[in-house]
Structures are given as structure tokens and as C-alpha cells.
């Protein structure tokens, strides 16, 4: 899942804190709020940071094997640009 977060978003707390037995709620966090940090954690997976200066959007992506096969980075980029 790709979560869009802003400083007033309920998704911010869910994506940052809530973890189900199956894993994190979101594998990518996207924000267009200047100054709002987005953070992902990983033990051994690749972390991808995306930035779009024109749209003033950033994304932090947890690119696990399943996420990579599920196109998580392109999905985060698409979410940044819409």
C-alpha cells in the first residue's frame, strides 16, 4: 500500500505506528507537506527515496522482494504525481 500523509492526516499515525501481524500498514509514504518527514524502516530490504521538486512531493519506499514485484516504487511515484 502507498499512504499519502500530511500534517493533519490520520494515515500519518496509522502508517507510522500501527503494525499488523502480517507487517506494516504501508510500504510507501508520500507527502506534499513541506517539512513533514516520511520514514520507512528496513532490516535488509532496499529503501528508496523519491523527490519531485516541481510538485514539492517526497516518498519513502520500503522495497521488499514482494513490494518490488508489486511495483511499489512506481506506484509511489504515481501517487506523488497525481
- Tell me the pLDDT tens digit for each residue of 33-58: 988 888 888 889 999 999 999 999 99
Average pLDDT over residues 59-79: 94
pTM value is 0.77
Answer whether residue 67 shows pLDDT above 80.
yes
Residues paired with residue 2 on neighbouring β-strands, in sequence order: 28
- Tell me the pLDDT tens digit for each residue of 16-38: 444 454 544 788 999 999 888 88
Cα(1)–Cα(75) distance, rounded to whole angstroms?
A: 9
Work out the angle at residue 36's Cα, subtended by the Cα atoms of residues 9 and 33, and round it to the nearest 5 degrees: 70
Cell 532490516 identifies what position?
A: 43
Answer whether residue 15 shows pLDDT above 50.
no
Helices (runs of H) and strands (runs of E) counted in the chain: 3, 6
The per-residue pLDDT for 54 is 93
Amino acid at each position: 500500500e502507498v499512504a499519502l500523509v500530511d500534517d493533519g492526516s490520520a494515515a500519518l499515525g496509522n502508517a507510522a505506528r500501527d503494525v499488523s501481524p502480517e507487517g506494516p500498514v504501508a510500504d510507501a509514504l508520500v507527502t506534499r507537506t513541506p517539512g513533514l518527514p516520511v520514514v520507512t524502516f528496513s532490516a535488509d530490504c532496499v529503501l528508496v527515496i523519491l523527490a519531485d521538486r516541481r510538485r514539492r512531493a517526497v516518498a519513502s519506499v520500503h522495497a521488499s522482494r514482494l513490494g518490488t514485484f508489486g511495483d511499489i516504487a512506481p506506484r509511489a511515484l504515481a501517487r506523488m504525481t497525481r
